[in-house]
């Protein structure tokens, strides 16, 4: 029987409760302070956030030349944008972008652990580290994508990219239909972390993000 993974709310709530308990214990023991926690959380909320990735994707959608530069030399292309966080250090080294196109769909995983481009996508969802997801996405990516609501045509090639300390991949999803005339800010609202991992499609106009 094939193993399956899911995103159960109770597991996410349990993980959050464990984090809160650990935080309270570390503060009680004097290992960290509440101010330290607030500072770190604020950093991830304001600087190291998926908003950076959304801006990159939106620019790639409206500027084909930038899109080509992004795929050819990701760090150099990203440096053209005025992003609030540097791409060096803190899981931002060796950024590499791949682009979904008609007939090609890309998926990003990390088979060894949980390497993830934090400055572009923020912190990874807990299921990204799930051994079942990592194994099955590498072995049968088309089946996993179908289970996640991304059915692909039989003639669509699925390419799986394994993130590591040497290459931290993210996906430029295909631009949704019906978005002609939208501004970059409006387009950025259609981009989700999941779409930049390749496990979802960019949202259609009016559908919002999750």
Residues 6+ apart with CB under 8 A from 100: 106, 171, 172, 173, 174, 198
Q: 53-96: per-residue pLDDT in tens?
A: 999 999 999 999 999 999 999 989 999 998 865 555 555 568 99
Which residue of the set 67, 110, 163, 203 is catalytic? Answer: 110
115 is catalytic: yes
Neighbours of 63 (CB within 10 A): 14
Q: How far apart are CA 124 and CA 138, in angstroms?
A: 18
Q: Establish if 209 belongs to a structural domain.
A: no
164 is catalytic: no
Enclosing domain of residue 15:
8-46
6 is catalytic: no
Q: How many domains does the chain have?
A: 2
> Is residue 105 domain-shared with residue 29, that is, in the same domain?
no
Neighbours of 87 (CB within 10 A): 21
110 is catalytic: yes
Which residue of the set 6, 15, 46, 113 is catalytic? Answer: 113
Q: Establish if 202 belongs to a structural domain.
A: no
> Is residue 141 domain-shared with residue 40, that is, in the same domain?
no
Q: Establish if 90 belongs to a structural domain.
A: yes
Q: 92-132: per-residue pLDDT in tens?
A: 568 999 999 999 999 999 998 888 888 889 888 888 989 99
> Is residue 23 domain-shared with residue 38, that is, in the same domain?
yes
Which residue of the set 6, 67, 114, 167 is catalytic? Answer: 114
Phi, psi of 93, rounded to the nearest 5 degrees: -70, 145
Q: How far apart are the first and last CA of the chain?
A: 31
């Amino acid at each position: 029987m094939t193993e399956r993974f899911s995103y159960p709310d109770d597991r996410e709530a349990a993980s959050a409760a464990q984090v809160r308990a650990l935080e309270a214990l570390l503060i009680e023991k004097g290992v960290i302070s509440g101010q330290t926690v607030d500072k770190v959380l604020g950093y991830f909320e304001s600087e190291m956030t998926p908003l950076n990735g959304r801006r990159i994707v939106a620019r790639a959608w409206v500027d084909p030349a930038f899109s080509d530069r992004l795929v050819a030399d990701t760090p150099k292309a990203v440096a053209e944008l005025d992003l609030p966080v540097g791409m060096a250090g803190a899981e931002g080294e060796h950024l590499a972008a791949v682009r979904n196109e008609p007939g090609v769909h890309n998926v990003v995983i990390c088979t060894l652990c949980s390497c993830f481009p934090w400055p572009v996508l923020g912190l990874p969802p807990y299921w990204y580290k799930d051994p079942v997801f990592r194994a099955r996405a590498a072995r049968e990516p088309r089946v996993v994508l179908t289970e996640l609501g991304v059915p692909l045509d039989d003639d669509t090639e699925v390419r799986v990219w394994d993130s590591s300390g040497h290459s931290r991949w993210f996906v430029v999803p295909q631009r949704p239909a019906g978005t002609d005339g939208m501004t970059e800010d409006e387009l950025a609202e259609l981009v989700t972390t999941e779409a930049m991992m390749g496990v979802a499609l960019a949202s259609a106009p009016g559908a919002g993000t999750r």
